[in-house]
A and B are shown apart, each in its own frame.
Chain A
Amino acid sequence: MSDITQDGPMLAADGTPLKKSLARALRRQKIRALMLIAPLLIFVLVTFIAPIADMLFRSVENQIVRDTLPRTVVALKDWNPDGEEIPGEAVFQALNLDFQIAAEEKNHTKLGSRLNYESPGISSVFRSTGRGADKIGKDAEKTFTGIDPRWKDPAIWAGIFASPEAETALPRSARAYEAFAKSVRAEGKKEVAKAKLWPVVFSALLDDLTLAQPDAAAVAALPAPGPELVNAALAAGLQPIDAKQAFLEINDGWSKLDLWQTISAYSPPYTAGYFLNAADFEQTSHGIEARPPSERIYLKLFWRTLWMSMTITACCILLGYPVAWLLANLRASTANVLMILVLLPFWTSLLVRTSAWKVLLQQQGVINDLLVWMGLVSDGNRLVMINNQFGTIIAMTHILLPFMILPLYSVMKTVPPSYVRAAKSLGATPWTAFWRVYFPQSIPGIGAGSILCFILAIGYYITPELVGGTEGVFISRYIAYHISTSLNWGLAAALGTILLAAVLLLYYVYDKIVGIDNVKLG
């Protein structure tokens, strides 16, 4: 009681400040609440948040160029991509080393595919170069073994490059050897000192000995027989590799300015390229440009996805509203039977329902047969109702209808019949009573149903894929295509991110216009 009269902070009965003791009590509550939701939280984090974060990251991530061609990327900094000339020998020397290592590690095709997304044609250059690049190394190998056959012995290399001096004396060879050793160790089948050497180490060694004078002191400090072998080779009058010519011989794609501009443009570790691509733009050395008309597909697909989803949602409202009204105004027993009919589609597999629509709608299908039999349509002019947008809209409306009816029903259930009665008693005709009084009160249900239907529709994949042909497919088809067929996961991630952003944006707009408080799910 005394704490009321004293100055300073309020104290609890045991003398601790009241604020602190309140915080402690609340903390215990918070921890308990946290523990209660922890299983769900962890589940959501692992299965939902983390993959979405990963997707967002993938849509901008572009480490692959730097990781696969590290020296080339550095050497390219001195090259002017806006000029008319392809890079010079220095870049090709770096490329020679990078590419041979990448080919041994089997990374070059991944990079080729990656760059091919930006500039079609690069993939084939990379693949064919991957098959021929080790010839440069093999030629170097012949040169060295010609000078001294001991160069062929992996154990000698293991000895030399175990020494810290090798890094100073023969830097390029040390890198190449390091990559080789790492790969052998990872495979775990042979000892590094016994495994067959990659040809690239010879090519790197040739570079080390011809491109610059190696540090004599460091060479002398190499373990035996290192100094002896190196000095013998130096004395043999080695010719440097003409990397540029060698690469142009393997594939003349390397002489194309466009290829180098692409590598240069995509050398930073993060890129907007996937997003540009997803919006039918591309990054060129002249800046961002629209893709050629024949390659512009995504904006069109986004637009189609949006308007078809809206059409489907509108169809769901038109068909679902009367049903929901009937459900809400029938006797409970009858309403329950009707509700089962509404829910029935939920209990049937999605594929089965979609296939059923195929059977119904196809040209030799039930509906066409019926129309022909009734004489409404001639046998030669059967209606095309599937493998187009019509098919997608019909099948999706059927599938999403329950998602519209249920929220509508639950909202209509809460609108007392007295409102319409009141309106009528005030002199409103049945239509006015409905339109001015009942309908506005069912808007929260329409809102909830529309959000559900629209968001489900916008990301739907399997149904449009099965009944939509080429005209009636959504952007989801291309996301799936880039995930499982073209393996362009970055573009798939960018498309997915844009879709996610579009949904969030629409949700925001909806909140501003209708108000999210006006959405009732039950």
Chain B
Amino acid sequence: MTDATTGGDAAFVEFDHVQKSYDGETLVVKDLNLSIAKGEFLTMLGPSGSGKTTCLMMLAGFETATHGEIRLAGREINNIPPHKRGIGMVFQNYALFPHMTVAENLAFPLEVRKLGKSEREQKVKRALDMVQMGAFGGRRPAQLSGGQQQRIALARALVFEPELVLMDEPLGALDKQLREHMQFEITRLAHELGITTVYVTHDQTEALTMSDNVAVFDDGRIQQLAPPAVLYEEPENSFVAQFIGENNTLEGVVQEIKGDIAVVKLDDGELIDCKPVNVSKAGERTRVSIRPERVETNKARLQPGAHTLKAEVLEFIYMGDIYRTRLRVAGNDDFVVKTRNAPDQKRMQPGEQIEIGWLPSDCRALDA
């Protein structure tokens, strides 16, 4: 797969300094620059109101950009009406036409493209088979389960063979198991057909498991654009760190920066070594981020160079495969540690005083 930062000539979809305002006073999308390569699966992830859906709607043509250019395959599409853009779209509520059968729904985009009857039938059949719904052509959407409707919506968005498919939280209404299954189905199809996909969700697991690249939105801006692993392992700012996965934060002030080590003085006076990510000079306030699973509570397993701290156990939750322990660390009562359920892992009691540690490289000093 192409790298996230690939731009220029290879870009299939491009947002160029795009801004959007509804009321003329506040910007919902602030100076968006984004390029998506052909065949890429890009997820726009962010909390509600972050501007991700607006971006999708501008791309689909249902909203117009207040400023900037949107290009599709090198052509500016700002002024092209939605029905001429040739972009497939899957909606949050599937938007299957309730008064048409499944087959009629699928035939609809072919019909408006004036395809012949036999060609239509053939394509509809192929699309239905593709989503393993071949036997359901004669049913009405209301007679299908949520998952089945989802498949049909997908098939309908693909049946006219668009090069770009947009999906707006398509799995939001499904239960957990079905959702996981469909995540797999969608990625499989996207890769098999080689189509470019822009996927909007607020569910980070979905974003991480499905995407080639994830664009994390907040406050009308892309906070970080990166492949899932990079996003999780190396969040570039405290918003991304907080938003993706579980995260412990400790607040303090940068004491000094020595190469790839930043010494941070925590608010309770403790000094710790961190990896400086977006702190540049001493004296800056910082938020230190450590993933719960990177904290070691078993002294014996601490690696050399690990930094140790004292902690008090506040709560211990048994979760089967893992233990989840809430600690008080450096004045923070919400410091969570996840430990694997292993024979040598002891179960801690609330009130117990323990020592914990982590590698400085797992501890990222981010913006305050």
Note whether A and B contact each other (Cβ less than 8 A).
yes
Residues of A within 8 A of B (CB): 416, 418-419, 421-430, 432-433, 436-437, 440-441
> Min CB distance, B253 to chain A, in Å?
48
CB of B82 within 8 Å of the partner chain: yes
Instruction: Find B97's partner among A419, A425, A427, A429 (CB 8 Å cutoff).
Output: A419
- Chain A interface: which of B27-35, B108-116, B176-184, B355-363? B108-116
CA distance A422 to B153 in the complex (A): 10
Contact A427 B93 (CB under 8 A): no
Contact A422 B112 (CB under 8 A): no
Contact A425 B88 (CB under 8 A): yes
CB of B86 within 8 Å of the partner chain: yes
Nearest A residue to B95, CB-CB: A422
Contact with A along B136-162 (1 / 0, CB 8 A): 000000000000000000001100100
Contact A424 B113 (CB under 8 A): no
Contact B95 A419 (CB under 8 A): yes
Nearest B residue to A419, CB-CB: B95
Contact B88 A418 (CB under 8 A): no
Contact B93 A418 (CB under 8 A): yes
Contact A427 B109 (CB under 8 A): yes
12 A-B residue pairs with Cβ-Cβ distance under 8 Å, sorted by A, are A421-B82, A421-B95, A422-B97, A425-B60, A425-B83, A426-B83, A426-B112, A427-B83, A427-B112, A428-B109, A436-B108, A437-B97
Nearest B residue to A422, CB-CB: B95
CB of B99 within 8 Å of the partner chain: yes
Contact A441 B98 (CB under 8 A): yes
CA distance A433 to B108 in the complex (A): 10
Contact A429 B95 (CB under 8 A): no
Contacts of B112 in A (CB 8 A): 426-429, 432
Contacts of A433 in B (CB 8 A): 83
CA distance A78 to B81 in the complex (A): 89
Contacts of B99 in A (CB 8 A): 440-441
Contact with A along B68-83 (1 / 0, CB 8 A): 0000000000000111
Instruction: Find A427's partner among B60, B95, B160, B166 (CB 8 Å cutoff).
Output: B160
Known: A433-B83, A436-B108, A441-B98. A425 touches B89 (CB 8 A): yes
Known: A427-B86, A430-B83, A440-B99. A421 touches B60 (CB 8 A): yes
Contact B91 A421 (CB under 8 A): yes
> Min CB distance, A444 to chain B, in Å?
10
> Min CB distance, B142 to chain A, in Å?
12
CA distance A432 to B86 in the complex (A): 16
Nearest A residue to B88, CB-CB: A425
CB of B92 within 8 Å of the partner chain: yes
Known: A426-B112, A426-B160. A418 touches B92 (CB 8 A): yes
Contacts of B85 in A (CB 8 A): 425
CB of B87 within 8 Å of the partner chain: yes
Number of A-B contacts (CB under 8 A): 69
Known: A426-B160, A429-B83. A421 touches B108 (CB 8 A): no
CA distance A35 to B61 in the complex (A): 58
CA distance A126 to B109 in the complex (A): 79
> Min CB distance, B195 to chain A, in Å?
14
Contact B95 A424 (CB under 8 A): no
Besides A425-B61, A426-B160, A441-B98, 7 other A-B contacts (C-beta < 8 A):
A416-B93, A418-B93, A425-B88, A425-B166, A428-B83, A432-B112, A440-B97
Instruction: Find B95's partner among A418, A428, A436 (CB 8 Å cutoff).
Output: A418
> Min CB distance, B197 to chain A, in Å?
14
For window 161-202 of B, CB contacts with A under 8 Å fall at: 166
Nearest A residue to B87, CB-CB: A425
Contact A422 B83 (CB under 8 A): no
Nearest B residue to A437, CB-CB: B97
CA distance A291 to B166 in the complex (A): 72
Question: Which of the listed residues B81, B85, B92, B109 has the most CB atoms from chain A within 10 Å of its own CB?
Answer: B109
Contact with A along B96-127 (1 / 0, CB 8 A): 01110000000011001100000000000000
Nearest B residue to A416, CB-CB: B93
Question: Which of the listed residues A416, A430, A436 has the most CB atoms from chain B within 10 Å of its own CB?
Answer: A436
Contacts of B89 in A (CB 8 A): 421-422, 425-426
CA distance A436 to B111 in the complex (A): 11
> Min CB distance, A445 to chain B, in Å?
13
Contact A426 B109 (CB under 8 A): yes
Contacts of A441 in B (CB 8 A): 97-99
Contact B108 A428 (CB under 8 A): yes
Contacts of A424 in B (CB 8 A): 61-62, 81-83
CA distance A423 to B95 in the complex (A): 9
CA distance A279 to B33 in the complex (A): 78
Known: A421-B82, A441-B99. A426 touches B91 (CB 8 A): no
Nearest A residue to B106, CB-CB: A426
Known: A427-B83, A427-B109. A422 touches B160 (CB 8 A): no
Contacts of A421 in B (CB 8 A): 60, 62, 82, 89, 91, 95
CA distance A311 to B86 in the complex (A): 42
Nearest B residue to A428, CB-CB: B112
Contact B91 A422 (CB under 8 A): yes
CA distance A429 to B112 in the complex (A): 8
Nearest B residue to A417, CB-CB: B62
Nearest B residue to A425, CB-CB: B89
A-B pairs with lowest CB-CB distance, top 7: A426-B109, A422-B95, A425-B89, A418-B95, A424-B82, A440-B99, A424-B83
Contacts of A436 in B (CB 8 A): 97, 108
Question: Which of the listed residues A419, A427, A440 has the most CB atoms from chain B within 10 Å of its own CB?
Answer: A427
> Min CB distance, B37 to chain A, in Å?
22
Contacts of A422 in B (CB 8 A): 89, 91, 95, 97
CA distance A424 to B82 in the complex (A): 6
Contacts of B108 in A (CB 8 A): 423, 426, 428, 436
Known: A432-B112, A440-B99, A441-B99. A425 touches B82 (CB 8 A): yes
CA distance A441 to B142 in the complex (A): 14
> Min CB distance, A15 to chain B, in Å?
45
CA distance A103 to B84 in the complex (A): 89
Nearest A residue to B114, CB-CB: A427
> Min CB distance, B327 to chain A, in Å?
46
Contacts of B91 in A (CB 8 A): 418, 421-422
Contacts of B160 in A (CB 8 A): 426-427
Question: Which of the listed residues A418, A421, A422, A433 has the most CB atoms from chain B within 10 Å of its own CB?
Answer: A422
Nearest B residue to A420, CB-CB: B95
Contacts of B86 in A (CB 8 A): 427
Contacts of B113 in A (CB 8 A): 427
CA distance A416 to B98 in the complex (A): 12
Question: Which of the listed residues A424, A425, A429 has the most CB atoms from chain B within 10 Å of its own CB?
Answer: A425
Contact A416 B109 (CB under 8 A): no
Contacts of A427 in B (CB 8 A): 83-84, 86, 109, 112-113, 160
CA distance A418 to B108 in the complex (A): 15
Question: Which of the listed residues A416, A426, A428, A440 has the most CB atoms from chain B within 10 Å of its own CB?
Answer: A426
Contacts of B62 in A (CB 8 A): 421, 424
Contacts of B95 in A (CB 8 A): 416, 418-419, 421-422
CA distance A426 to B157 in the complex (A): 7
Contacts of B60 in A (CB 8 A): 421, 425
Question: Which of the listed residues B87, B99, B166 has the most CB atoms from chain A within 10 Å of its own CB?
Answer: B99
CA distance A152 to B320 in the complex (A): 119
CA distance A429 to B109 in the complex (A): 11
Contacts of A429 in B (CB 8 A): 83, 112
> Min CB distance, B61 to chain A, in Å?
8
